[in-house]
């Protein structure tokens, strides 16, 4: 018996060793490849961090594909002479802890010069410090938490905490109030029931919505924090029904927002649900079912499909043969990746067509001054790393699809 287990252990060890050797030799190959490639062209990896599996994967895969499209377009057009871009995507499962591990992995990979992502503000929070230490640019197409760029005291004193963090998305500080103005002024609803999921994104959005809604003269008739792990919101739905609210504002994402909307309507109450860009997904409509018609979402930027600059993106995305739709953040992800490409271009051109030794640091510096016409409009960053483009759009569910209702810029 003992001998048998000895054999088993030996076999396992041998197998393990073989696997390790295999890895080793593959690494060697990789090394020599890029060594040879030095003459013809350098490979620059653009990292992507997004939830590629799980509830939020619909949005995450859209981010990954769009960044990939940007890299392919740059390669095809030889946008940066001598540089080949490659996208490497890691899955953060929407979890801050996983995101942080991914961040370390990106920083450890010398070929990575910048990363597009993540989707969730809470994940972004956990990644920022790692990128700051690695002096590498992180460009989020979707993070909307104000404190990420303006510091924890952004309401009173704005102070940029990380100089390596940028985003192409607008913040909740703008999105929440924008939604409040639309709900109160255009949608003519005065009694709101505010629900959030207690996460960085959801609670932030619900907070800024509440402040503006009250300022306009609306009444918040109830608040509730849901548990994002469950799908049973019947108790909350009954509370909403009996609160006399004529609109529900939900700060959070579609995996909960869909069932929540469905269950609120299931009580017999015809109360529309309004949310942020986190619910602006085809999956929301799927989960909310037929009763979701009339629900609203705000999302950053003008509708991608309607911008003239976006037509080309939409066409190329279709031609690229991606299996998943580009979803809410497709255009922003493309622009985020393109911002990295532009920054690399600046750095390379300044250094006689070659990558300098401290390429990462220089890319971060160049990023600050990037300015180009992207899919979502003019892309550039202000002194906090926020997008200078502050456009937002309200969408409504109509015939099983999101329809743009109103587009505008929030001005205080």
Partner 1 sequence: MNELPQQLVNGLLLGSMYGLIAIGYTMVYGIVQLINFAHGEIFMTGAFGALTVYIYILPDGTSMLIALPLMILGAVIVSVTVAIGAERFAYRPLRGGPRLAPLITAIGLSLALQQAVWAWYPDAKSARTFPQIEGGPFHIGSITLQTGSIFLLIAAPVSMAFLGYFVMKTRTGRGMQATAQDPDTAKLMGVNTDRIIVIAFALGAVFAAIGGVAYGLEYGHVDFKMGFILGLKAFTAAVLGGIGNIYGAMIGGVVLGIAETLATAYIGDIPGLGQFGSQSWADVWAFILLILVLLFRPQGLLGERVADRA
| Interface positions with partner 1 (CB under 8 A) | 53-58, 197-198, 223-227, 229-236, 238-239, 241-242, 255, 258-259, 262-263, 266-268, 283, 286-287, 289
Q: How far is the CB of 201 from partner 1 (least distance, A)?
A: 15
Question: Least distance from C-beta 52 to partner 1, angstroms?
Answer: 8
CA 300 from centre of chain? 11
Closest CA to 127 of 150, 97, 151, 157: 97
Between CA 301 and CA 312 the distance in angstroms is 17
Nearer to partner 1 by C-beta: 39 or 268?
Answer: 268
> Smaller CB distance to partner 1: residue 74 or 195?
195
Cα(124)–Cα(116) distance, integer angstroms: 11
Looking at the Cβ atoms of 25 and 242, the one nearer to partner 1 is 242
Q: How far is the CB of 375 from partner 1 (least distance, A)?
A: 24
Question: Cα–Cα distance between 51 and 379 in angstroms, integer?
Answer: 24
Would you call 305 helix, strand, or coil by DSSP? coil
In the complex, the smallest distance separating the C-beta of residue 231 from partner 1, rounded to whole angstroms, is: 5
- Shortest gap between Cβ of 136 and partner 1 (angstroms)? 29
**Nearest to partner 1 of 180, 203 (CB atom):** 203
Q: Which is nearer to partner 1, 187 or 233 (CB)?
A: 233
Q: Measuring CA to CA, which residue among 121, 50, 124 is closest to residue 89?
A: 50
Smallest distance, partner 1 to C-beta of residue 241, A: 8
Pick the closer one to partner 1 by CB: 139 or 240: 240
Nearby residues of 213 by Cβ (< 8 Å), 6 or more positions away: 180, 183, 184, 192, 220, 249
Q: How far apart are CA 169 and CA 386, in angstroms?
A: 8
CA 273 – CA 289 distance, rounded (Å): 13
Q: Toward partner 1, which CB reaches closer, 30 or 244?
A: 244
Shortest Å distance, C-beta 153 to partner 1? 22
Torsion angle defined by CA atoms of residues 97, 98, 100 and 103, in that order, rounded to the nearest 10 degrees:
180
Query: Are 115 and 138 contacting, i.e. CB atoms less than 8 angstroms apart?
Result: yes
> Residue 134 or residue 275: which is nearer to partner 1 going by CB?
275
Least separation in angstroms between residue 300's CB and partner 1 is 22
Place of tokens 């460009």: 139
Q: Which is nearer to partner 1, 182 or 284 (CB)?
A: 284
**Which residue, among 186, 243, 197, has the nearest Cα to 220 in the 3D structure?**
243
Residue labelled with tokens 């927002």: 257
- Per-residue burial over 25-36, b if 16 or more Cβ lie within 10 Å, else e, is eeeeeeeeeeee
CB of 215 to partner 1, least distance (A): 23
**Phi then psi for 391, rounded to 5 degrees?**
-80, 145
- Do the beta carbons of residue 48 and residue 117 sit within 8 Å? yes
């Amino acid at each position: 018996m003992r001998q048998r287990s000895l054999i088993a252990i030996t076999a396992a060890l041998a197998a393990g060793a073989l696997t390790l050797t295999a890895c080793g030799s593959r690494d060697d190959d990789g090394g020599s490849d890029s060594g040879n490639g030095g003459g013809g062209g350098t490979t620059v990896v653009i990292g992507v961090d997004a939830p590629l599996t799980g509830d939020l994967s619909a949005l995450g895969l859209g981010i990954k594909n769009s960044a990939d499209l940007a890299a392919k377009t740059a390669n095809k057009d030889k946008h940066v002479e001598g540089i080949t871009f490659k996208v490497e995507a890691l899955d953060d499962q929407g979890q801050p802890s996983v995101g942080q591990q991914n961040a370390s992995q990106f920083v450890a990979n010398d070929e990575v010069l910048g990363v597009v992502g993540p989707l969730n503000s809470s994940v972004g929070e956990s990644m920022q410090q790692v990128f700051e230490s690695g002096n590498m640019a992180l460009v989020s197409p979707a993070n909307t938490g104000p404190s990420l760029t303006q510091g924890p005291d952004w309401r009173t004193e704005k102070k940029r905490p990380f100089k390596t963090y940028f985003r192409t998305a607008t913040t909740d500080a703008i999105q929440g109030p924008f939604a409040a103005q639309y709900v109160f002024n255009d949608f003519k609803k005065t009694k709101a029931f505010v629900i959030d999921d207690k996460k960085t994104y959801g609670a932030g959005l619900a907070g800024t919505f509440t402040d503006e809604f009250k300022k306009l003269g609306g009444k918040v008739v109830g608040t509730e924090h849901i548990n994002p792990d469950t799908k049973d919101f019947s108790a909350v739905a009954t509370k909403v029904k009996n609160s006399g609210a004529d609109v529900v504002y939900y700060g959070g994402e579609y995996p909960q927002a869909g069932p929540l909307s469905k269950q609120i309507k299931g009580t017999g109450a015809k109360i529309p649900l309004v949310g942020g860009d986190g619910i602006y997904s085809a999956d929301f409509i799927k989960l909310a079912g037929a009763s979701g018609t009339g629900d609203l979402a705000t999302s950053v930027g003008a509708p991608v499909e309607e911008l003239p600059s976006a037509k080309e993106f939409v066409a190329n995305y279709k031609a690229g043969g991606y299996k998943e739709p580009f979803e809410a953040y497709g255009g922003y992800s493309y622009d985020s990746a393109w911002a990295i490409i532009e920054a690399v271009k600046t750095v390379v051109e300044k250094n006689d067509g070659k990558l300098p030794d401290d390429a990462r640091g220089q890319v971060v510096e160049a990023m600050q001054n990037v300015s180009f016409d992207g899919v979502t409009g003019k892309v550039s960053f202000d002194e906090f790393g926020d997008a200078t483009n502050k456009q937002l759009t309200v969408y409504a569910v109509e015939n099983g699809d999101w329809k743009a209702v109103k587009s505008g810029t929030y001005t205080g």
